[in-house]
Chains A and B, each alone.
Chain A
């Protein structure tokens, strides 16, 4: 019960009306619908298995997904920077260009291409670069798949400002003048096979465009290369995901298959993998003011095509600079 109270408290702090209980909370926070579905799914699984662990696990997952923007801890980020710097400098030889293109203040929607499976090293490189460039004091949130936050690693990510991907969380963060990093391609793009590594693939997900328009936030495209060379990604396994029903249960559209350290053949990538020391390069492009560029009521399709084309062009330039896979 104490856990449920915590969820309600956090939801209230995040803008839900006073006096909401379980049902009201669900209706007021659409982001939690998926969470609840995930929790209930796991609870159902637990019951079926006769283990009796389903409900506590589901409650724990619900707690971890009821993200509180105040979970971000600048001191924690600051103390983790040396470790991030070591890994990114020595293992990935990371390079981030164009951070000066990010507006110095105010809300910003950073839209990136997602790579690296369940160990997206370029996200950590960008977090390091952003935090050292603007200082840990500047609010910076990253939207992540529910499953990432439900796993134990989620506990380590929340102080960085990582919250479950939902429109409500993004709105609240932008309202607080934060920079918000979104990966529209999400699980679909991050598990793309290696022969599609140099392709921007947002799977026609356009929610971020309306979000930027509603919040009046400029979109800053962030293009990364190298992340998809940290393992040999073979297939998304989307048919397997549908056949197993995990697309409905876990909101997971893929069951990726890869060859990765230390597992060899890696199905699902649920435990992550040891990434190969691929050189990572990130280029931040100039901001796009949607209203200035496309008028008062821009067509989402038009903006989507423009952004993807622009990011693809930048990615192709980075590809041309790269002489060898992994080595860079």
Chain B
């Protein structure tokens, strides 16, 4: 099953990129995520690994994931190492007037699970889609708030300098 959600955020791409790739932010804005822990020494970048869990129905599903694509400030993709088969991607594209279009793609399944796997994917899709939409809305709120704060701080610094 492949899900795809997108949103426009009134903030520059770099700011959005820094926010989504910081592991400690994931629990704040990603809906349904109950665990997002750095595994190993590397916190971010290609090859960094995280243990993540997402509540869906009666279970917290997820496992160990690894960042397999890292192209700042545009694309980050991860793939599962252990646990449920999953691939995800953040895709950030610059729009006019300093806005950013953020796309979150998520594909998941259990290879070899047969018809029950297929039905489970269908049944879980609405709940997962809802998690993705909520995550993007929460991301928009957090990043735009962050932008307002940083703009206000910059204005204060400029006034103080003047």
Contacts and interface: CB of A to CB of B under 8 A. Distances in A.
A283 to B, nearest CB: 14
6 contacts: A81-B59, A85-B58, A89-B58, A89-B59, A133-B59, A135-B64
Max chain A Cβ within 10 angstroms of own Cβ: one of B62, B120, B124:
B120
Given A75-B112, A78-B110, A132 B117 contact: no
A132 B83 CA distance: 7
A132 B61 contact: yes
Main secondary structure on B side of the interface with A:
mixed
Say which size band chain B's interface belongs to.
20 to 34
Interface in B59-74: 59-64
Interface in B105-155: 110, 112-114, 116-117, 119-121, 123-124
A291 B110 CA distance: 42
Main secondary structure on A side of the interface with B:
helix
B84 interface: yes
A128 B60 CA distance: 9
A79 B57 contact: no
B58 A79 contact: no
Given A75-B112, A81-B113, A86 B123 contact: yes
Contacts of B119: 82, 86
Given A75-B112, A132-B83, A93 B120 contact: no
Contacts of A129: 58-60
Interface of A: 75, 78-83, 85-86, 88-90, 92-96, 99, 125, 128-129, 132-133, 135, 137
A137 B61 contact: no
A79 B109 CA distance: 10
Contacts of B95: none
Contacts of A92: 58
B15 interface: no
Contacts of A125: 58
Contacts of A94: 58
A79 B116 CA distance: 9
